[in-house]
Structure 1
């Protein structure tokens, strides 16, 4: 487990060194690209949800709820709770 943590820390330090070595203008471009991808992905998800809601059949069947006691083979008398004394 410690070896895994050390490998991850080493990898993250390498990424940090690469980021710091990158020119500021390039860092701004990379951040802008990630932000643009995030906005695009968010817009796609929101549009997909709106589309699904528009085409969804909002037909909710409202029916009477039947007692499960009458559906089974047991009589309702055997399902009564037992009173504690």
Structure 2
């Protein structure tokens, strides 16, 4: 685990030094590009949420929980063996 942490720390320091070597104008441009991408992604997600919640067919069905399903089980399934085992009373 320590080796993984050291590897990640080394990678982060290497990227930080690479960032500091870049000219200030390039740093500002990249910051604006990343921020613009973040804003664009946020707007797309918000629009998607509004579209999906605004549809009329978007309903939630609430039903009673029956417990064990009424689906028939055969003797070959593991479920049948557990439910109908002779040790279970």
Aligned residues of 2:19 and 2:27 also touching (Cα < 8 A): yes
Instruction: Give the equivalent residue in structure 2 for 1:37.
Output: 37
SS of residue paired to 2:13: helix
Alignment length, in residue pairs? 65
CA RMSD of aligned residues (A): 2.3
Distance in 2 (CA, whole Å) between partners of 1:42 and 1:9 is: 30
Higher-Rg member (1/2): 1
Greater relative CO, 1 or 2 (CA 8 Å, sep 6+):
1
SS of residue paired to 1:57: coil
Deviation, 1:19, is 0.4
Distance in 1 (CA, whole Å) between partners of 2:24 and 2:59 is: 55
- Relative to total residues, which structure has the larger helix share, 1 or 2? 1
Superposed counterparts of 1:40-79, under 5 Å: 40-57=40-57
**Ranges of 4+ aligned residues in structure 1 off by more than 3 Å:** 58-62
Distance in 2 (CA, whole Å) between partners of 1:60 and 1:41 is: 28
Q: TM-score, normalising length from structure 1?
A: 0.65
